[in-house]
Amino acid sequence: MASSSRPRALALALGLLSASAQAPTWYGLRPSASALHSVDLVDLTDGAVVRTTIGTVALGAGEYAWPDAVRCLPGFCLFATSIISPGQDQSFVYKISTTDATIIYKSAAPGICAHMHADFTTGHAYTLCIEEAATGYRAVVTEVTGAKPIAVADITDEVNHARVAPGQTTHCSAFQSMYVGVDNGGNGKDAIITVDLTAGKVSKVTALSADLTRSLWATCDGSGVVGGLSFVQGSSPGANGTATFGAFAADGSFKVDSTVGVFPNHVPSGLLTGTSPASYKDAFIAAFYPAGTLTNATAARGALWAVDPYGGGSDDVVTTFPYYLIGAAWDRE
């Protein structure tokens, strides 16, 4: 499980974030073991150990929270859920207080909105909603402010029925851009779509030289580099899988930064997030669970990969994890 190298491509962006005078708070969302159809907002250490449970949020009947679809800013967190019903899919964006997890708003949006991003200048939520209904197919980048969701950019033609899995979008407030990974089956056919949120249109489509990664994280430093986590299953049921942390350059080429072995029969959940770099270690974490594990599985057991781009503390390590971490975010995203 040793690392071949450290992910340098994303270190600059995290270094800038760590310069904030006030240490950020690191939050997580997990299924609640004490309340049915609910999630707990928790306060985490940099290693994703739960310090305290801040509060519990009751979800509606049939709602499932999406992995990686959690973002936080000072005072609140945003997360996404959906009710899956063929032809009538419905999603919800929650904004909750980080003081006690009370609901500030719950906004409904049509389709499956399995992503979440927060603009640090406005506090508004951005998501990608995909509708497959009798009225047709649509893929729309959507802004949520608490009122009726606002369609920002229709990217139906660019997505074109391709798969965009949880974790395969990322966002930069500084550049007012959202990046959507489009899985067309690999083999040089995948792409990353750059959406200009101010202009409300696609500004770039980057053809990828390697297969789209399972999750994405933009550097937001002007380089156009988008980092990500890829994964290959073990060669047999009892063999380790291999996770790779690397980055796509602006021209779509991919550079491997770090690799690690992952416990047998575990697969990525889609979660890839930056922790509070207060201690300058474990600046990124990715989560892995047995295939088919649901985000409401209170007895789930998985694994975390802590990726260290700083070179301090323990280097890349996969460790067991005692619960399902739906999503995590520090409140300077």
Query: pTM of the predicted model, to two decimals?
Result: 0.90
End-to-end CA distance of the chain: 30
The secondary structure of 9-73 as a DSSP string is: GGHHHHHHHHT-SSPP-EEEEEE-SSSTTEEEEEEE-TT--EEEEEEEEEPPTT-EEEEEEEEEE
- Positive or negative torsion for Cα 207, 209, 212, 218: negative
Phi first, then psi: what are they for 309, rounded to 5°?
Answer: -85, -5
- 159, containing H or E segment: helix 156-159
Residue 276's pLDDT is what?
A: 65
DSSP annotation of 123 reads -
The secondary structure of 181-241 as a DSSP string is: EEBS-STT--EEEEEETTTTEEEEEEE-SSPPPSEEEE--SSS--EEEEEEE--SSTTSPE
d(CA 38, CA 63): 9
Question: Whose CA is closest to 315, among 263, 245, 255?
Answer: 245
Q: How far is CA 298 from CA 34, 101, 103, 191, 268, in A?
A: 9, 19, 22, 35, 18
d(CA 202, CA 255): 25
The two three-digit tokens of residue 165, written as one number: 């899995």
Looking at the domain that runs over 8-330, which CATH code has it been given? 2.120.10.30
Cβ–Cβ < 8 Å for 247, 253: no
Cβ–Cβ < 8 Å for 117, 169: yes
Q: How far is CA 187 from CA 20, 183, 208, in A?
A: 41, 10, 9
Residue 45's pLDDT is what?
A: 85
- For the chain, the structural domain boundaries read 8-330
Place of tokens 């760590």: 18
3-state secondary structure of 97: strand
Residues of the chain with pLDDT under 70: 1-24, 276-282, 308-316, 332-333
